Every structure is written in structure tokens, then in C-alpha cells.
Amino acid sequence: MSSSCAFCRIARGEEKAYVVYEDEHVIAFLDINPISEGHILVAPKRHYERLSCMPSDELEALARGLQRVLVMVERGLSRDYNVVVNTGRGAGQVVMHVHVHVVPRYPGDGLRVTMTQRHRLTEEEAVRVLTKLNEAKAGTGS
Ligand code: 5GP
Ligand code: ZN
């Protein structure tokens, strides 16, 4: 738990946030600069920088909390939403405490949250990627 981390302070109740869901492991609150109405951040109460750092029981608790929030969003706001986790500064992560963005979508909102810049997968690219990932898998011993 870090005092310099805004989400740790929110989890401890030291900083104001509009909390929409909370349990022993997870806290969910409204984003201070929402992309759309009802933009929610779902975070573990303990500080982890990225999903890959989390113990599996904490990750399971986060998934359960996320699911509870998603059901609330579907019932209360919209059945359409984007779920996004920015990981690493190069991917747009600004707050280095794991959080899942839930961005409700509304008809005609004109938002471009989806991944739009695409190219056609080639055989060469696929082999390159699979080789790197298989080497990484072998390196982790799993
Ligand atoms: P990231 O770019 O790290 O995935 O997203 C961080 C998110 O946290 C941003 O959407 C930003 O608006 C939100 N945020 C940053 N500081 C605070 C805060 O103190 N309180 C709340 N409620 N949201 C915050
Ligand atoms: Zn933190």
C-alpha cells in the first residue's frame, strides 16, 4: 500500500471517490474524468502494478468483483460497454495500480474506444509471434 498512489488512498478511504461496489479485495469507483456517463474503475484494494503481478486468488477476486459491477452496469446503465486494462506507460497506463476500465456505451455516443487500426495477419508475422511466445513459455517452465 503506497501513500503516493491515489488508488491505494481511495481503497483506504483516505481520498474521496464515488464508490459503486466494494468487498474485501476489490473497490470500484467512478472515474474522475469519465469517457462516458458511468465510466467505472474496478481495482484490487492491494497495490499491484499489473495483472501479471497478481497472485491468482487476488486475480480471481478481481474477476468476481468485475463481474458484479458488469451486472450492475447492464441492469442500471447499458448492456453495451467496453472493458479495458491499460498496462504499461506505452499502452496508456497512467495510474500504476491495476484497474479495469468499464466504459458504458450509449446509442450514437460517437466514442472510438474500440481498436481500429488493423492490418491483415501474414504467415510471417504469425510465425514470428508464435516463436517469441513459445520461447517465453519455455523460459517460464510452464
Ligand atoms: P489509466 O490511463 O492509468 O488506465 O487510467 C487512469 C484513470 O484513472 C484515468 O481514466 C483517470 O481519469 C482516473 N483517475 C486518475 N486519478 C484519479 C483519482 O484520483 N480518482 C478517480 N476517481 N479517478 C482517477
Ligand atoms: Zn496503489
Ranges of each domain in the chain: 6-114
C-alpha distances in Å from residue 118, one per residue of 19, 74, 103, 110, 113? 36, 29, 22, 19, 14
- Residue 31 CA to ligand 1 center (angstroms) comes to 6
What pTM was estimated for this model as a whole? 0.92
Give the position, in ligand 1's atom list, of the atom nearest the Cα of 95.
3
98-116 pLDDT tens trace: 999 999 999 999 898 777 7
pLDDT in the model for residue 138: 86
Backbone phi and psi for residue 67, each to the nearest 5 degrees, phi listed first: -60, -40
27-83 pLDDT tens trace: 999 999 999 999 999 999 999 999 999 999 999 999 999 999 999 999 999 999 999
Give the position, in ligand 1's atom list, of the atom nearest the Cα of 84.
4
In CATH, which of 3.90.1300.10, 3.40.50.300, 3.90.226.10, 3.30.428.10 is domain 6-114?
Answer: 3.30.428.10
- Residue 38 CA to ligand 2 center (angstroms) comes to 22
Known catalytic residues are: 99
118 pLDDT higher than 90? no
